[in-house]
Structure 1
Amino acid sequence: MSKIIRVLGISGSLRAKSCNTGLLRAAASQLPEGMEFEFADVSQIPFYNADLQEKPVAVETFFKQLEQADALLLACPEYNYSIAPVLKNAIDWASRYPDNKLLGGKAVALCGAGGGMGTSRAQYHLRQVCVYVDLHPLNKPEVFANAFAGGFDTDGNVTDDKIKSNLAAQLQALQAWALRLRVPS
């Protein structure tokens, strides 16, 4: 059994200079040994509609990425105290895959950048969604970054060493959690 953990990073923000996407870039730059990282582009995924007979190309691409991932890192913006629609929509699409094979049983870590309390309220809502779709959220460490306190540059890149350190600790914990959850095939 390979000990490489393949992490799929999904940002709930579509902004080019998003601090949430910046969190994923920072995470990807400081992976622990034995971990690989890939970004998912969910910007072209249409709203979920069960009437669609054929899955759009963006959905098929996303499904292939999920199929190969051992764990997920979700960068969760907070919109009106809740989850950003683009992130929820991606999860909704994936949850409709036969037998929930793309999500069920996978380790997931949550991070987010937003105002005052970071994205704590949205992350707690996202944890509820994770429970329903049988994702297994990492409990600690949590990463709640204040996007307006000087920890990011104007392009959304993380500049604060404490945020980077929190992400590095979260990735190490996610790696251990994913290995613990992994079922030998």
Structure 2
Amino acid sequence: MATNVLTLVGSLRSGSTNAQLAEAAVATAPEGVEVSVFQGLENIPFYNEDIDVEGHVPAAAAELRAAAADADALLLVSPEYNGTIPAVLKNAIDWLSRPYGAGAATDMPTAVIGTAFGQFGGVWAQDEARKSATIAGAKVLDDVKLSIPNSVVRFAETHPKDDSEVVGQLADVLGKLRAAAELN
């Protein structure tokens, strides 16, 4: 039985190198791992407890929660915006954290990866995403990291799925997510 990994991408930009990194995870997932990328984070309203009412949860938020409930693990792919996590990804984590103690992210094996234009590959944002997901109740694999610097240059003419180093690193991340999901 395959491990289902739900991927959330923190960049909404067309041509995003983080979206391409997620596409590479889908295209090159190792045997026994199925990766899907959630579409529609931009449609989820900012978390507000007033609208998080059973039977009236906004459709886009309900779809995210359902997708996470069907997954065995989460893969968060984060660029770095002004030194931190993009609002759209933080918002998704907030929706997945509720109801408190029983949200869709609770006890979910989770890894955070990403790429950024700068020389550190977005590590600040990825650290913030790990922190937020941990507080949301996810089982964040703190030792599983993939930060790819200089994304605009590195992926100017090569898609991440065609970069053997990246493919190998993705296989390692996904393999560790699978192992964590099997123990869960």
Q: TM-score, normalization: structure 1?
A: 0.88
Aligned residues: 178
One-letter amino acid matched to 1:129: S
Please state if 1:133 is matched with 2:136: yes
Map 1:61-140; keep pairs closer than 5 Å: 61-97=63-99, 99-114=101-116, 115-140=118-143
Matched-pair contact (CA < 8 Å) for 1:9–1:74: yes
Matched-pair contact (CA < 8 Å) for 1:151–1:160: no
Q: Which residue of 1 aligns with 2:171?
A: 168
Please give the alpha-carbon distance, in whole angstroms, between the structure 1 residues aligned to 2:112 and 2:152.
20
One-letter amino acid matched to 1:90: A
Question: By how many angstroms is 1:122 displaced?
Answer: 1.0
One-letter amino acid matched to 2:43: Q
Q: 1:161 to 1:109 in 2, by over 3 A?
A: same
Map 1:41-52; keep pairs closer than 5 Å: 41=39, 42-52=41-51
Cα deviation code 1:146-171 (max 9, x no counterpart): 243633146x8314321221111111
Matched-pair contact (CA < 8 Å) for 1:100–1:133: no
Worse-superposed segment, 120-129 or 64-73: 120-129
Please give the alpha-carbon distance, in whole angstroms, between the structure 2 residues aligned to 1:50 and 1:139.
29
Please give the alpha-carbon distance, in whole angstroms, between the structure 1 residues aligned to 2:61 and 2:172.
31
Aligned match for 1:145, one of 141, 145, 148: 148
Cα deviation code 1:40-84 (max 9, x no counterpart): 121211111222252221111111101101100100111111111
Matched-pair contact (CA < 8 Å) for 1:45–1:56: yes
Matched-pair contact (CA < 8 Å) for 1:48–1:93: yes
Please state if 1:59 is matched with 2:61: yes
SS in 1 for 2:142: coil
Worse-superposed segment, 94-103 or 170-179: 94-103
SS in 2 for 1:97: coil
Q: Which residue of 2 aligns with 1:18?
A: 16
| Displacement over 2 Å in runs of 4+ | 97-101, 147-151
Q: Which residue of 2 aligns with 1:32?
A: 30
Matched-pair contact (CA < 8 Å) for 2:115–2:149: yes
Matched-pair contact (CA < 8 Å) for 1:25–1:157: no
Q: RMSD of the TM alignment (CA)?
A: 1.8
Please give the alpha-carbon distance, in whole angstroms, between the structure 2 residues aligned to 1:56 and 1:136.
26
Please give the alpha-carbon distance, in whole angstroms, between the structure 1 residues aligned to 2:163 and 2:33.
23
Cα deviation code 1:89-136 (max 9, x no counterpart): 011111123642411111011111102100111111122112211211
Matched-pair contact (CA < 8 Å) for 2:3–2:72: yes
Q: TM-score, normalization: structure 2?
A: 0.89
